[in-house]
């Protein structure tokens, strides 16, 4: 009997709170039903083989191989294995098979879904007595993204994927790492995402422009602004001080400050059942991301407009920017475009089964 486990990591939609996570700010994401599934079967040698079914690609490496920079999807399994070992977890040999339903580069967090599912599968396959908690796992997955994949992303996607619960959005404070639940009761309203058709990558590609490295550039701008303001993070920045910064840093900080306030206002509006107010806040978030943070594109703008034309009372770009999906809050009776996907909060990452397999 070879031990077999299956783990699922969901993608996420961020209701509001964009580009705040790496600034010690606030966000309000939820896990969705689409995600990545990793099937794992134990093997008796000290190797991990990986099949990425959707990519029709394979990889195989020794568990104790020295970490080396590997381009592309192979960095994920290699990175998770190395980081788990670094965290003191004993890993057995494994055959891993990855399948997913979140389109890559769509702004719905396919990378975090993959990292989280790999992590849970590898942990469950071993008999590790050391089980990192969810916050520790989120940090570990994020290190893989930062150091192995080259995207200097924050903790938003991993925490949403790991901590999601049906029916709620997660109010995350990235300074304290406190996660609290806010009921997402939509009544006759609905939330949909619509693909802009433009793929994006948070990790740099060659070129050295916003289109190829926009995410990491924004992160650097925020770090520079915090340095000039003499604050530990932009959570402590004030709007007055931000106005004295050179362009474009003042506008970037302005976005972060106003977005944190919008997250709090959205949580309050949801608690009061005031969905029209949530719609206004989504529109204000998008305007700030477009004008102050400058991460929108013509394809994204056209997609926002399609949602508004279809009766959305709020629409905004989600995720790292420069493409991906747009989120819309549809009023009762509005007809979503045919290619829109309805999203609602689903459960966070978990094991699906662990039936033993003969052979």
Binds ligand GLA (CB under 6 A): choice among 7, 21, 189, 323: 21
CA–CA distance, 71 with 54 (Å, rounded to integer): 18
Residue 3 near ligand GLA by CB under 6 A: no
Work out the angle at residue 176's Cα, subtended by the Cα atoms of residues 172 and 182, and round it to the nearest 5 degrees.
Answer: 25
Residue 75 near ligand GLA by CB under 6 A: no
132/320 with CB nearer ligand GLA = 320
72/276 with CB nearer ligand GLA = 72
Residue 319 near ligand GLA by CB under 6 A: yes
198/202 with CB nearer ligand GLA = 202
Residue matched to tokens 């991906």? 324
In the DSSP assignment, the letter for residue 303 is H
Residue 18 near ligand GLA by CB under 6 A: yes
21/213 with CB nearer ligand GLA = 21
Site string for ligand GLA, 144-163 (x = CB under 6 A): ---------xx-xx------
Residue pair 4/356 in contact (Cβ under 8 Å)? The answer is yes
Closest separation in Å from C-beta 190 to ligand GLA: 23
78/200 with CB nearer ligand GLA = 200
Residue pair 74/48 in contact (Cβ under 8 Å)? The answer is no
By CB neighbour count within 10 A (0-12 exposed, 13-18 middle, 19+ buried), where does 107 fall? buried
Stretch of residues binding ligand GLA (CB under 6 A), selected from 16-24, 75-83, 85-93, 299-307: 16-24
Binds ligand GLA (CB under 6 A): choice among 25, 314, 320, 345: 320
92/324 with CB nearer ligand GLA = 324
Give the dihedral sign, CA 172/149/111/84: negative
Residue 19 near ligand GLA by CB under 6 A: yes
Selecting among 157, 195, 213, 292, the annotated active-site residue is 157
Structural tokens at position 127: 């008999």
Binds ligand GLA (CB under 6 A): choice among 106, 202, 285, 288: 202
Residue matched to tokens 């209701």? 15
Residue 316 near ligand GLA by CB under 6 A: no
The residues with which 278 forms a beta bridge, in sequence order, are none
103/311 with CB nearer ligand GLA = 103
Residue 35 near ligand GLA by CB under 6 A: no
Residue pair 297/209 in contact (Cβ under 8 Å)? The answer is no
CA–CA distance, 237 with 58 (Å, rounded to integer): 46
Q: 21 an active-site residue? A: no
Residue 76 near ligand GLA by CB under 6 A: no
Residue pair 213/204 in contact (Cβ under 8 Å)? The answer is yes
Closest separation in Å from C-beta 57 to ligand GLA: 23
Site string for ligand GLA, 94-133 (x = CB under 6 A): ---------------x------------------------
Measured in degrees and rounded to the nearest 5, phi and psi for residue 161 equal -65, -40
Strands 93-100 and 47-52: parallel
Measured in degrees and rounded to the nearest 5, phi and psi for residue 306 equal -60, -40
Q: Determine the longest span between alpha carbons in the chain, in angstroms.
A: 68
Query: Taking the CA atoms of the chain, what radius of gyration do you get in angstroms?
Result: 20
In the DSSP assignment, the letter for residue 144 is I
Question: What are the residue numbers of the active site?
Answer: 157
Name the residues that contact ligand GLA, by CB under 6 A. 14, 18-19, 21-22, 109, 153-154, 156-157, 202, 319-320
């Amino acid at each position: 009997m070879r031990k077999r486990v299956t783990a699922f990591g969901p993608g996420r939609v961020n209701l509001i709170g964009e580009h705040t996570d790496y600034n010690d700010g606030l966000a309000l994401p939820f896990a969705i039903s689409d995600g990545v599934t990793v099937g794992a079967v134990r093997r008796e040698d000290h190797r991990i083989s990986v099949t990425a079914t959707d990519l029709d690609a394979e990889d195989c490496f020794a568990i104790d191989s020295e970490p080396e920079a590997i381009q592309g999807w192979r960095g994920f399994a290699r990175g998770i294995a190395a980081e788990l070992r670094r965290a003191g977890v004993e890993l057995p040999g494994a055959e891993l098979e990855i399948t997913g339903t979140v389109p890559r580069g769509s702004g719905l967090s396919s990378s975090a879904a993959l990292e989280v599912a790999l992590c849970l599968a590898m942990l469950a396959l071993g008999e590790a007595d050391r089980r990192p908690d969810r916050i520790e796992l989120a940090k570990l997955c994020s290190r893989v993204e930062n150091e192995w994949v080259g995207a200097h992303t924050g903790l938003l996607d991993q925490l949403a994927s790991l901590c999601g619960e049906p029916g709620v959005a997660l109010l995350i404070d990235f300074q304290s790492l406190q996660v609290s639940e806010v009921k997402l009761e939509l009544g006759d309203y609905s939330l949909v995402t619509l693909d802009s058709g433009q793929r994006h990558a948070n990790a740099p590609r060659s070129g050295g422009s916003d289109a190829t490295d926009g995410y990491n550039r924004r992160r650097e701008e925020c770090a520079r602004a915090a340095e000039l303001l003499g604050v530990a993070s932009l959570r402590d920045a004030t709007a007055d001080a931000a106005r004295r910064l050179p362009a474009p840093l003042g506008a970037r900080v302005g976005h972060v400050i106003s977005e944190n306030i919008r997250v709090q206002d959205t949580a309050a509006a949801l608690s009061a059942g005031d969905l029209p107010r949530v719609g206004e806040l989504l529109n204000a978030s998008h305007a700030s991301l477009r004008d102050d943070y400058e991460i929108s594109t013509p394809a994204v703008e056209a997609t926002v407009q399609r949602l508004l034309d279809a009766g959305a009372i709020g629409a905004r770009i989600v995720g790292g920017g420069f493409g991906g999906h747009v989120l819309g809050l549809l009023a009762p009776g509005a007809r979503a475009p045919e290619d829109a996907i309805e999203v609602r909060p689903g459960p966070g990452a978990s094991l699906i089964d662990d039936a033993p397999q003969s052979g």
